[in-house]
Amino acid sequence: MRLIIRDDKPAVGGFTANYIAKRINEFQPTNDHPRFVLGLPTGSSPLPVYHKLIDLHNRGKVSFKHVITFNMDEYVGIPKSHPESYHSFMFDNFFSKVDIEPHNAHILDGEAENLVEECARYEEKIEAVGGIDLFLGGIGEDGHIAFNEPGSSLASRTRMKTLAYDTIVANARFFDNDIAKVPKMALTVGIATVMDAREVIIVITGKHKAPALAKSIEEGVNHMWTVSAIQQHPWAMVVADEDATLELRVGTVRYFKSIESVQAQQELKYGNAALRPKQRSVHASSPRF
């Protein structure tokens, strides 16, 4: 697992967006070859990533024409048209501003008649396109990823979850600060759904997330800090701002900074493709595509 530390939120967004754009461009997705499959989060942490991806798209540096997306989660109990639904969030902050084909952007349907079937179908759809190439995520203050609240099984898959009281309180800011208006249930991908992705990137910013970052990377894998599961992922990267590192040991910060600087030297020597996870071949011919 790598930890990349940048000065502030815009720098975290810039680094992460440039990295994602590079991965998409290296993959060279087309309609005939596999399309790049991206897992996406909502929340304030990924907003600087979306801003930078939109900027790169506007400057012709990346296209989402052959990218398929799967969002992490959606509330149950509010319509898609609600301004705080994750459908609205994604449309307003990203999808309406890039060239993604609407039928390629998947979000769980919290209004589905049969929510259990909706979750099973979501897993099948991910499988049908060959799995997720890169899953981007954020975390809650209690270290939850998507809506996998503390205590969620690390083997969990897409399902319905009851939100933790702390999460309901944290999300009240989007619902007129009225806890009664905050949905109490959500559909969410599971920890195993995220960990099945070929690559996982988690953005963590702000000093309110510092305890979660420390718990999740300095202590062991623990279902009470569900993002800690990334410790067992073969290609995981956390991108944090300085504020989020406040609870880490000085030695931990120095260690990861030194790894990044040695890696940068090695990339100059060997080229950076050699030091990144191997992607699905653009020539792969699988009936799933």
Ligand X SMILES: N[C@@H]1[C@@H](O)[C@H](O)[C@@H](COP(=O)(O)O)O[C@@H]1O
In the complex, the residues that contact ligand X under the rule CB under 6 A are 41-45, 72-73, 138-140, 146-147, 167
Between 9 and 57, name the residue whose CB sits nearer to ligand X.
9
Look up residue 26 and give its two tokens: 């290296």
Between 144 and 198, name the residue whose CB sits nearer to ligand X.
144
Is 149 one of the annotated active-site residues of the chain? yes
Shortest distance, position 15 Cβ to ligand X, whole Å: 17
| Three-state secondary-structure class, residue 49 | helix
Between 84 and 101, name the residue whose CB sits nearer to ligand X.
84
How many secondary structure helices (H) and strands (E) does the chain include? Answer: 8, 10
Instruction: For residues 157 and 188, give the distance between their C-alpha atoms in angstroms, rounded to a whole number.
Output: 8
Closest CA to 136 of 5, 257, 45: 45
Tell me which residue has its CB nearest to ligand X: 43
Shortest distance, position 265 Cβ to ligand X, whole Å: 33
Is 142 one of the annotated active-site residues of the chain? yes
Rg for the chain, CA atoms, rounded: 18
Shortest distance, position 33 Cβ to ligand X, whole Å: 30
**AA letter at 31:** N
Residues 6+ apart with CB under 8 A from 73: 42, 86, 108, 146, 147, 186, 187, 188, 189
Q: What is the CB neighbour count within 10 angstroms for residue 58?
A: 11
Between 168 and 253, name the residue whose CB sits nearer to ligand X.
168
Is 144 one of the annotated active-site residues of the chain? yes
Shortest distance, position 42 Cβ to ligand X, whole Å: 6
Instruction: For residues 192 and 185, give the distance between their C-alpha atoms in angstroms, rounded to a whole number.
Output: 20
Is 133 one of the annotated active-site residues of the chain? no
Look up residue 260 and give its two tokens: 């990044």
Q: Among 74, 123, 133, 149, which one carries the catalytic annotation?
A: 149
**Active site members:** 73, 142, 144, 149
